[in-house]
Amino acid sequence: MNILITGASGYIGSRLTNKLAKIKNYNVICLARKPQNIQNKFEHLNVEIKQGDLLDSKSIINICENIDIAYYLVHSLSEKADFHKYEIECAQNFIKEASKSKIKKIIYLGGLGINKKNSLSKHLTSRHEVGNILRSSNIPCIEFQASIIIGKGGISYEIMKSLVERLPAMITPKWVSSLSQPIWIEDVLSYLTISINNNYNSSKIVQIGGPDIISYKKLMQIYAKTIGVRRFMLSVPVLTPRLSSLWLGLVTPVYSRVGRKLIDSLTTDSIITDPLPSNSYPVETINVEKSILLSLNNNNDIIESRWNDSISSSIPYSPKDKKSQYKYKYKDVREKFVLVDKEKAFEPINKIGGKNGWYFANTLWKIRGWIDLLIGGVGLRRERRDSKLFTIGDTLDWWRICDSIPNEMVKLESEMKLPGKAFLKFELLPKDNGVIIKQTATFITNKITGILYWKALFPIHVIVFKGMLSKIANKAIKYNQID
């Protein structure tokens, strides 16, 4: 059976791909805008990755040929105000191409929300409209509408975890009182997987959630109890969604652009109103307390997938991006020779960022991260999925890993708010009995503001980049001496 998965780079898509690829007689094909960003995730599995962009109809011609089942898991969480337009266009392009094929079924994961007097957020409205488009063809479509998903690496779980672990007391906004039916990630995957063999001749909406109906405030209290801490929470009505999203950006790994969409959705009750469709599935959902406990016990150093590993969770994207030609290019290139082997020389590079910081002028890095958060950027709160290996497509603070050779080279692309694009590259060049550590910072832009940005910060960049390379070299020598 040939199974197509769109949105395979995302939190759900990555896990579903891993699950289905291990099942005998399932041939999994992933559609990706940038295949290089996900190929390392599935390199040990029999997964085929095809390049295609749902916003570019020409790039997905024949993508559904010989496909039996298609999963639609595309979610433009971080796009700007026109994210709704992008989501609709993606769905329309996909269903147009699918309708030309012999696909037997489409399986879509959307969001659960009660629409009281047209009170749904733009985010949830968009999710529902995508479902309407996918169910508009003659191909049977199963639309799962899920409540809050609990699981390590998931956006709702990571927000809750960060708030409870970092704040002994909280002044909470009104939206934390909205009701939901949190569901464990593995239960969601069970619904999605079982649907392959369900013989539906028509499209259906299946609302899914766990057995508990609770508020987000209660969810945080259960988490606090589970980890053995006490937290004081005072709800106030004065925190607007905008202020709440900025607050989340300062305390949690979620930046305000994403936080605002999430908060708008959390103001709506997310509970099951039609349980009959989900009752036909042999899935025994577990309660919130057990879901949290299982997530906490997942102490693997490598998180299987995270919400922010998806490109669309970080970069406001437009098809025009592919056609952009940058006229102005600036570089800061520095080299340092160290009398150590490649592995020891790369060790401090491999540990850079996150809790370890950037080795020099960390206060300046933090200030820049705070500024980025305040203007809707990603900030400095994103750690690597794998702390021991650079994996293409993974995130690190405000960077995304765009190229990597173990113990030899890593190239990072900035996802902060900038009037252009920025890259930071570390590479090792063998020389005599040691290596040259080469550090290259690159900035490209089309804008006058970009030119002014580079020139204004050039004196600071000189200090920071020079100091950072010196620290990396000193640490490499130190690691070599320890052995």
**From first to last of its 483 residues, what are the pLDDT tens digits of the chain?**
999 999 988 889 999 999 999 998 999 999 998 888 787 778 788 899 999 999 998 999 999 999 999 999 998 665 555 678 888 999 999 999 999 999 999 999 999 987 665 667 777 888 899 999 999 999 999 999 999 999 988 888 888 887 788 788 887 777 788 899 999 999 999 999 999 998 888 899 999 999 999 998 899 899 999 999 998 888 777 665 556 555 666 565 555 555 555 666 667 888 999 999 999 899 999 999 999 999 888 755 444 555 445 544 444 444 455 445 678 899 999 999 999 999 999 999 999 988 888 999 999 988 888 888 777 677 776 666 677 788 887 888 888 888 899 899 999 999 888 999 999 999 999 998 899 999 999 999 988 999 999 999 999 999 999 999 999 999 999 987 776
According to DSSP, the β-strands at 421-431 and 395-396 are unpaired
Q: What are phi and psi of 206, to 5 degrees?
A: -120, 110
C-alpha–C-alpha distance, residues 337 and 428, integer Å: 10
C-alpha–C-alpha distance, residues 110 and 120, integer Å: 14
Residue with tokens 């305040």: 374
C-alpha–C-alpha distance, residues 231 and 410, integer Å: 41
Here the tokens at position 343 are 């592995």
Residues paired with 410 in a beta bridge? 404, 426
- Residues in Cβ contact with 274 at an 8 Å cutoff, skipping those fewer than 6 apart: 205, 207
3-state SS record for 388-404: CCCCCCCEECCEEEEEE
Beta carbons of 63 and 97 less than 8 angstroms apart:
yes
Show the DSSP H helices in 351-447 as ranges.
362-374
Q: What is the pLDDT of residue 265?
A: 64
DSSP secondary structure code for residue 270 in this structure = B
C-alpha–C-alpha distance, residues 15 and 19, integer Å: 6
Which listed CATH number (3.30.360.10, 3.30.530.20, 3.40.50.720, 3.40.50.300) goes with 325-482?
3.30.530.20
How far is residue 23 from each of residues 46, 92, 162, 344, 483, measured CA to CA in Å? 10, 30, 35, 40, 44
C-alpha–C-alpha distance, residues 478 and 421, integer Å: 34
CB-based burial, 50-63: b 16+ in 10 Å, e otherwise:
eebbbbebebbeeb
Burial of residue 402 (CB within 10 Å: 0-12, 13-18, 19+) is: middle
Residues paired with 330 in a beta bridge? 443
Beta carbons of 355 and 383 less than 8 angstroms apart:
yes
Beta carbons of 17 and 7 less than 8 angstroms apart:
no
C-alpha–C-alpha distance, residues 377 and 259, integer Å: 11
C-alpha–C-alpha distance, residues 59 and 205, integer Å: 30
